[in-house]
Amino acid sequence: MKFTQNRLIFITSLFFVFFYNLSFFSNTLKVYPLAFSNVGFLISLAVTLWAAIVFILELFSYKKTIKPLLIFLLFASSFAAYFMDTYGVIIDDGMLINAVQTNVNESLGLLSFKLILYILFLGVLPSIFIYKVKINYQSVKKELISKMIAIFIALCVIGLSVFAFSGYYASFFREHKPLRQHTNPTFWVYSVGKLTGSLLKNQNKEVVKIGLDAKIENNPRKKVVIMVVGEAARWDHFSLNGYSRETNPMLKKEDIVNLPNVYSCGTSTAYSVPCMFSIKTRKEFDIDDAPYEENVLDVLKHTGKVAIIWRDNNSDSKKVADRVIEQDYRTSKNNTICDSECRDDGMLVGLDKFIEQNKDKDILIVLHQMGNHGPEYYKRYTKDFEKFTPTCKTNQLESCKNEEIVNAYDNVILYTDSFLSKTINFLKKYDTNYDTSMIYMSDHGESLGENGVYLHGMPYMIAPEAQKHVGAVLWFGDSTKKTIPYQKIVQNANKEYSQDNLFHTLLGLFAVKSSVYDKSKDMINENK
């Protein structure tokens, strides 16, 4: 059987609507329940989506591009459909950045039999059909006329649908904008275009320097500060914050300042980590500009008096540590505590040597945890931390009972509790000769199946509290407590903070004087 280009596009677009948009229609039905009064609008949505896909394909499909384009879209959309249907995520530009920055081990952690089935039935098989189908090409003039007619028909269908159900579409576009982000492939194609435009805009861009006037007065005692960047640790699973389970038995024994009301910049590592170290607030921050702007590590480096090292047991520093020492601790080459995977504890090994080598300077050590990195929570802790059972032992979270998912997640919080306690004990060794401090702050939170949503990465505007409200803890050595308004810090612990405060808090800890420092945003010295 021979197909014209238009016929192939029409059929493929129909295939996209009915087999790749389970997430879109299931979420739409939550807002517009299936009822006689809504049937016409729901049908029009499917027709409008079909017409929108036809419009996009007609614009970019020509004799030499139609088959490669359709095959690429089928494969890419099969991946998108799997992650949207399985984890409830949205494939926006932020999620695309996450995907690009995901390493091989993280990718393998997402591999499942269900994913293979999606790729097979929504990627491979329809692509074979596209590859083998015979297309009846006409003259260039006739093809162009045919294409213009198809585009005109698609636009008319969209216009008539919106006009016929204008009342519904008014609320759909104004009040329920997030629903459009579930459409496949239209929204992820839009996101690719948006991301590409941003990258092209910033190519060859020079890094903007900040805080060149930063200086530290000569202090009789040097400082050692450890900044622990947590991973996917939501506040409400810390027993320190009233969680019914004892997930912080070690920290409970320490003289820590728990911060129960800290909110993240974003809902993904790729966004939150650069944002939390940036001088810009969440509302000002632009992920596209971040690689071309210095951050708080650079300001500390400008003083010439702070030795900085970033150890990473996660993906990487997301370019935050590009201009300081960065070490990869996901490999046994550097990390001496590895079994099925390398453990966060290993990042503490050998830090004594770094401190000894820089004893004439203040020291900032950043430890980026693997922490609660999902979906394979059961791999994120050693067997001796499996206190809560039974646990979900697969990356297909939707196939596990909620109790099993939560048990595995809570066991990782237990492991982090132990890791932070070890970090504090490491610092205590230096309290005699240094002013020591530790800041722990998770990069973002995590959804554990509430309302069918798993993991993280939802657009901030619609993200649930679980993905934005994070665990955070401060600890100060005895000598440091004498130099800061410790009692006021304790009194203000319940105050609402965000990752916007970190930039100024780190500068304040090192007593940095600079035009970029804002004392009112310093969680430690704001009341000094």
pLDDT in tens, 315-361: 899 999 999 999 999 999 999 999 999 999 999 999 999 999 999 99
Domains of the chain: 2-202 (no CATH), 224-521 (3.40.720.10)
In angstroms, rounded to a whole number, what is the distance separating the alpha carbons of residues 126 and 481? 65
In angstroms, rounded to a whole number, what is the distance separating the alpha carbons of residues 3 and 24? 29
State the Cα torsion 330-336-337-340 to the nearest 10°: 60
| Residues above pLDDT 70, as percent of the chain | 98
pLDDT for the residue numbered 349: 97
Q: What is the pTM of this model?
A: 0.81
In angstroms, rounded to a whole number, what is the distance separating the alpha carbons of residues 373 and 106? 9
- Identify the band that residue 104 occupies on the pLDDT scale cut at 50, 70 and 90: low
Instruction: Give CA separation, 152 vs 58, 145, 147, 162, in Å.
Output: 10, 11, 9, 15
pLDDT for the residue numbered 137: 83
Helix spans in 203-320 (H): 269-277, 296-302
pLDDT for the residue numbered 140: 84
Burial annotation 375-401 (CB, 10 A radius, 16+ → b, else e):
bbbbbbbeeebbebeebbebbbbeebe
Q: What is the pLDDT of residues 165-195, one digit of tens each?
A: 887 887 787 667 788 889 999 999 998 988 8
pLDDT for the residue numbered 212: 97
Please give the average per-residue pLDDT across 95-119, as a whole number: 79
| Residues above pLDDT 90, as percent of the chain | 77
Q: What is the pLDDT of residues 411-429, one digit of tens each?
A: 999 999 999 999 999 999 9
185 prior amide bond cis, ω within 30: yes
In angstroms, rounded to a whole number, what is the distance separating the alpha carbons of residues 404 and 401? 5
One-letter amino acid at 313 equals: N
369 Cβ contact partners less than 8 Å away, ≥ 6 residues apart? 228, 229, 230, 231, 313, 314, 344, 416, 419
Chain centroid, CA 54 distance in Å? 32
pLDDT for the residue numbered 1: 65
Q: What is the pLDDT of residues 358-398, one digit of tens each?
A: 999 999 999 999 999 999 999 999 999 999 999 999 888 88
- Name the burial class of residue 304, with classes exposed (0-12), middle (13-18) and buried (19+) by CB atoms within 10 angstroms of its CB: exposed
Please give the average per-residue pLDDT across 1-11, as a whole number: 88
Least confident of 165-179, 213-227, 496-510: 165-179
53 Cβ contact partners less than 8 Å away, ≥ 6 residues apart? 13, 16, 17, 185, 186
- Identify the band that residue 526 occupies on the pLDDT scale cut at 50, 70 and 90: confident
How does strand 434-442 pair with strand 256-258?
Answer: unpaired
- Tally of CA atoms within 13 A in the half-sphere of 119 that contains its CB: 8
Instruction: Give CA separation, 319 vs 95, 228, 502, in Å.
Output: 17, 17, 17
222 Cβ contact partners less than 8 Å away, ≥ 6 residues apart? 359, 360, 361, 362, 363, 433, 434, 435
Neighbours of 423 (CB within 10 A): 22
Q: What is the pLDDT of residues 34-78, one digit of tens each?
A: 888 889 999 999 999 999 999 999 999 888 899 999 999 999 999
Is the pLDDT score of 102 beyond 90? no
Q: Are 439 and 296 in contact (CB under 8 A)?
A: no
Q: What is the pLDDT of residues 136-172, one digit of tens each?
A: 888 888 889 999 999 999 999 999 998 898 878 877 8
- Identify the band that residue 95 occupies on the pLDDT scale cut at 50, 70 and 90: confident
Q: What is the pLDDT of residues 302-311, one digit of tens each?
A: 999 999 999 9
SS3 440: strand
In angstroms, rounded to a whole number, what is the distance separating the alpha carbons of residues 48 and 158? 5
* Listed residue (85, 80, 499) closest to 267, CA to CA: 499
Instruction: Tell me what the pLDDT averaged over the chain comes to.
Output: 93
